[in-house]
Each structure stands twice: as C-alpha cells, then as structure tokens.
Amino acid sequence: MRMAVPLPRSLRWRLLAATFVGTAVAVLLAGWLLSGLFREHVTQQFVATLATELDQVTARFEVDANGQPLLDPARLSDPRWTRPYSGLYWQIDEMAGTVPRRGVLRSRSLWDAELQAPADALADGEVHVHEVAGPGGAELLLVERTVRMAAGRTTVWRLLVAADRRDTAAAVAHFNRLLAASLAVLLGLLMAGAVTQVVVGLAPLSALRRGLNAVREGRRQLLEGEFPQEVQPLVDDFNGVLQRNTEIVVRARTQAGNLAHAIKTSLAVMAQGAISAQQHPETLVALPAFVTDQVEVVRRHVNWHLARSRAAAAQGMPGVRAEVGPVVQALVRVMSRVHAERGLQFDIAVVEPGLAFAGEEQDLQEMLGNLIDNACKWARSSVHIAASRVPEAGTPQLRLVVEDDGPGIAAEERKHALSRGVRLDEAAPGSGLGLAIVHELAELYGGNVMLGSGRLGGLKAELLLPRTRSAMLSTTAPSLLAGDVAATVYHAEP
C-alpha cells in the first residue's frame, strides 16, 4: 500500500511550488508552441524555395518533334544540380501508359539514384509536397507537378524537385537550443520574481507572528501595527477575542469578589448569631430560623452570580438559540400552579411564530420567569404575555412584554426597581433580586428591560433581547405558533 506524501506545511513553500509548477508548464507550452511555429515557418520557406526551383525546371523543360524530352542543365542557375549528391535534385518521369518510366531525365546530382515519389493523382499544373528518402537514406522534401507539352498529346510528364532537409533540421535544432536556453533563463527570472513576491507578500505574517509573541510574553495586550487589508480583519477579530477574554477575566474576578463578600457577610452574621445564642441561651430557639434565612440569602446570591456567569459565557456564542413559545408556555404552566390560590388568568399572545432567542434557554427562563413571577405577585386577576419581532435596524431583536393589572410602580421609582436588592414594598415576599437579575442578564446579552404603565392598569415590563435570524417553527407548542396571532388563556384555579 502506497503512502501519500504529505504536503509541506510551510505556506511559503506551497506558494513557491505552485508557482514553479504553473510557470514551468507555461514555459514548456510556450517553448513547444514557438518551436512548432518556427519549424512550420522554415518548412514553408523551404517549400517556397523548392517551388521556385520547380518553376525553373518547368520553364526549361522542352519536348522535340519526336516527342523526346529535353532539358539543358546548363540553363539551370544553381551549381548544385551538377554536383553529385549535392542535396538538390530534379527528375522527369514519363507517365504515358499504365507503367510510368521513372528518371527519363534527371540531374547529374542524383548520379545513379532515382527519386521515388508516391503514386498520386495530380491535376495539370498542381503542386504536391512529399517527404521521401533520397540517396544514402537522406531525408528529402520533394515537390512535384505534371505538365502536357501540347494539346492533343496524351503523354504526361511528371517533374520532380527535391532537396536535402539536413540544413533545415540543423536550423530548427539550433533554434530549439537557443529557445531552450532563453526559456530556462526566463524561468529562472520568473522564479526569482516569485520568490521576491512571496517574501514581500508574506512579510506582514512575520510581523503578525512577532506581535503574537509579544502578546504571549505579556509585553503587549493587543496586536499593534499596520497590516494589509487582507490580514487586518484577522487582526481585528483576534484583538476582539483578546479584549473579550480580558473582559471575562475582569468580570470573573469582580463576580468572585462580590460572591465572596456576600457569603462572607452571611457567614459573619451566622457566626454572630451563634455567639449570641451561646451567650444568651434563651435566643437559641430562634437560631434555626435565623440560619435558614441566611442560607436562603446565600443561595440567592449564588444563583445570581451563576446566572450572570452563564449569560456572560453564552453571549455571542454561535449556534445557541432558544425558542420563545415553548419557554413561555412552560413558565405559565409553572406559575399557574405556584399562584394557584390566587385564581389568576394568564393571557398569552405570541405574534411572531418561531421566534428564537439568541442565547441559553436557562437564561431566557430566568429573565421571563422573574418578570412573570413579579407580575403574579402584584396582579389582581390577570397577567398578559406577548412576544414579537422588532423591525431590524442592525442586530435582530425580539420584544417580550409582561403586563399585570396590579397597582403598578410610580414613574419616579421604576429606575430604582431595577437596582440590586431594592424592595419597594418590604411587606411583599422576595429579596429584591428578581428585576435586577433580569436587568443585568439582559444587558449581558446586549438587550434591555424597561418598566412602564400597561394597558391593564398595572406594571408593564418590556424586555428586548437578541434573536436568531432564522425563524423555525416549533412542533413542541403548536397552540402558541399557529397563525399570525395565537392566543392562549390559562386559568389558575385555587
């Protein structure tokens, strides 16, 4: 079994190898074409010269009164006609009858040899060209024509002129040698230019590598310098990744410090309670409830920071999506059971079918769950939930609206309601983290939450979040996604 030869990993060698192969093929094709054109040109010139000699032989050819052919060699200008095996020959054949008479007249240069031309049909005056073997096996180029000396005569004379191709072949060979040397020099110059081009073209990658080494060694925080426009997007994206990693590290340190501070405070409170119970045994009965409250505070803080960490990690992650319809339906089913004793009515209107949140499903459940839970706590009898697509003006977004018919929140207090730990009514259950969690998670995803007055008379919470561009119909909750506006009403019975 033959093993495949691995390609070199060097981009420089790949470019040079591809350039060499392409240039070599182009040079070889050019050499083959130029050599063929030159050979064709020389051959045509050779044929033209032989045709001129054939015209001279034809002009000097005569037939006497007895029908015998005559041609005076002295009347031919080229002295090679008389020099034996000089490389230039003429011959006259008589084509009378079925068997032609070859060499009725011939040049002295043929000596005792004859020209053997192929037997083909020629019209009067037509010239044919052949390649034949001559004296001593020499390669000859032969031109021929037939003539009739007078009207009414049946005798046809075949005039042949041939010349040795050695001079032509030598000229072509000399030209090919010069052409090969020239093309070899051209190939070398082209490869030198290719090497220069590759070195200059890949020089920015060396600068990029030096910048990466500086970032890895801690001498720089970002890639700096001017790069070509083909490389600059890569540098920008890499710098974006570095900045995002820096932000994640800073955020993680801040969250770890906040969580440690929150837990440390609760631990200190519980330790103080334990010391107080030891010093005052009569307070020991209240200690379990006191510890339970502090554990609940710690649990909420842990959940708070876990939600923030999960949202920060999922922000901008490709391929993460959560369909809105099934999440809303599941939350309403849970809330209808949690607040069953209040007999609330849940009105759901999902305007856009197949809406999907570009983030983790748990985060969508966290945000919507807090908004719906808050609405249920304050609603008198009804909670309205709607979801729709925001007309695109950049990043695609979706709008989630949760309304109730409760007392609402005064305009001057709505901004404070989103702050962490703020409780506008100390008598109501909760820790003041619900709306703050929604606010911070939405900001981590590049969204926002706004509080206002709803058409039901209570609080209206409007949540803007990023959405996926493709809207895929869900098969999980057909009641929410059927038609342009699907409405579902849930009744929480006591």
Task: State pLDDT tens for residues 258-299.
Answer: 667 667 767 777 777 778 777 777 766 677 777 777 777 777
Crossing angle between the packed helical segments 287-314 and 232-279, to the nearest 10 degrees: 180
343 and 492 in contact (C-beta within 8 Å)? Answer: yes
Check residue 305 and give its pLDDT: 66
What are the contacts of 123-130 at 24+ separation with CB within 8 A? 124/148, 124/156, 127/51, 127/54, 129/47
SS3 (DSSP) at 150: coil
The strand pair at 356-357 and 322-323 is best described as antiparallel
Q: Full-prediction pTM beyond 0.85?
A: no
Q: What is the CATH number of domain 322-491?
A: 3.30.565.10
163 and 57 in contact (C-beta within 8 Å)? Answer: no
Intra-chain end-to-end CA distance of the chain, in Å: 77
Check residue 319 and give its pLDDT: 59
Check residue 193 and give its pLDDT: 92
Whole-angstrom distance, CA of residue 482 vs CA of residue 425? 40
Pseudo-torsion of CA 335, 339, 342, 346, nearest 10°?
A: 0
Check residue 414 and give its pLDDT: 75
SS3 (DSSP) at 350: strand
Whole-angstrom distance, CA of residue 286 vs CA of residue 289? 6
Q: What is the pLDDT of residues 188-223, one digit of tens each?
A: 999 999 999 888 888 887 888 888 888 888 788 888
Per-residue pLDDT tens listing for the chain (494 residues) = 454 545 567 788 888 888 999 999 999 999 999 999 999 999 999 999 999 989 988 888 888 877 788 888 888 888 888 889 888 999 998 887 667 788 889 888 888 888 888 887 777 778 899 999 888 888 999 999 888 876 556 778 889 999 999 889 999 999 999 999 999 999 999 999 999 988 888 888 788 888 888 888 878 888 877 778 787 888 888 888 888 777 777 767 766 766 676 677 677 777 777 787 777 777 666 777 777 777 777 777 676 666 666 655 555 555 578 888 888 888 888 888 888 888 888 888 865 667 888 888 888 888 888 899 888 988 888 999 998 888 766 678 888 999 998 888 877 777 777 765 444 444 444 444 567 778 888 888 888 888 888 888 888 899 998 888 754 443 333 333 333 334 455 444 44
184 and 208 in contact (C-beta within 8 Å)? Answer: no
Q: What is the DSSP letter of 316?
A: T
In terms of C-beta density within 10 A (0-12 exposed, 13-18 middle, 19 or more buried), how is residue 394 classed? exposed
Sign of CA dihedral 216, 219, 223, 226: negative
Element (H, E) at 368: helix 361-378
Whole-angstrom distance, CA of residue 468 vs CA of residue 355? 8
